[in-house]
Structure 1
């Protein structure tokens, strides 16, 4: 019987994850049942939210089980089909296992349209990160022409799209990132008006004040921690804060004290709203239609950091916490069948 490989959660990490928390196993390749397809993984996504799913049920609503395969966004090729919706050779995307091959219910998959862009973009600018950026900024952040929009983790898959969408909507855009290479990409290639390297800035609050002399109207928060603390005093009246991620806190072993500085919200009547891309499931197509147009017209640019080889998937994930990636972090697992 044909075999395939899976990555399983070997143990729950304490603090920052390590390779000891992952286990690579070889198993029999599964066969699809009625209404199911067997998908060969071509590209696998790794994302910061996965750190939360490595926690236990007391600290995360939907944790992965120790000893079981983890899940990820995947672009893959249908190699066997027992479903009318898909034929062998179709390229699809969905939330599948960290595996070279996986079974999926056909209703849980979407066909990838290669005319919109390279198939890998279905996991990035034309996938979950792009849609998160689109609705998180436009619906929650609601930027107006002339607003100042601050984006943390601005060189990441979500933040880079947020900043460009804000610029398209006539806002002044300030980003934070953790290397000079990322800062140059934001300002020189993506059109950000200013960017702050939080790792080399001695006084983050002063740097934020200098970059935002007229205050902050929209803050798209992917990070939390000291960057958010530096933005808070700059919030203008009736500003909007879209809370998308808190990567600065994901590896903390103790829950930080908070929430803090709520007096500022009273003074400014600011709105703080968390967001989940799943809330926009019925508007996914609307976002992709506009995003693909922006990409075709070079109004939105993107980068992908592709790690080669399924065996290197944990390394790609761990690299997220070292700030190694610019743009979308992906693992290339396989090639399409001829």
Structure 2
């Protein structure tokens, strides 16, 4: 099947409407085409909805078997229908069985052998956007049946967690910072951004596993600081760039926590030298700013402070620097 046809299929689902071109290309690389013989089982009661399906040809009947052994027919899905989209969005357990009514050809996402958690490790931003779309889709479906969606419903909370959690570290991801943080802002809010120095040397010398282990240590430090402060969020922006958002935290306390973070990074045990490896000591570039003291617009502060952090990192790093008020910066290449 051509990419064009694949894309047409994807856009039948509201989960994939309005995604970025890069998202669409990635998703198309993570679908499977397969065939089922008449009578074959697609899923049964109790199975987790790990993917959803588009029927190219044939048909699928969905039914329940009652306690008395009789069958309750629930739906018949035929060519060009989507099947299981709502259950997939909720990561629900199926409450019915689906069998091929005839020889049937289907397309599924994610591809057979992959889970959404696998994709989240590959492309966390893309999967976050899909999960956020699923929240919107679920809310619309429930409203259409005159039901109310509760933010405190367990599965809604779990879906939000999956949408906004970085899979590698358990930190909040950048989508949370950009899309949800404005709801949580309480003036003053300190934003602390941090980038470890020379991290590429560590990864190039010892491999990605060493980098992952280091990021887990850094994530633990950030979480401990949030616990010490008593509120706030530890966030992973991109790759090894992380930070803290501390509500009701002014410049003086923000500076104190920025310095604590810098000191704790320096206290991570160095990695000893080995054959062909000179050793590695941890240092970091830390920049802190305060909303709305240093910028009235939160999004502007995030963007400009991030650019300023990269400038400081490229200038040699290993420092704690306040974000200058009313600064205009260009985003440098962070390599």
* Interval containing the TM-score (normalised by the shorter chain): under 0.3
- TM, length-normalised to structure 2: 0.25
Computing the radius of gyration from Cα coordinates, the structure with the larger value is 2
TM-score (norm 1): 0.25
Higher strand share: 1
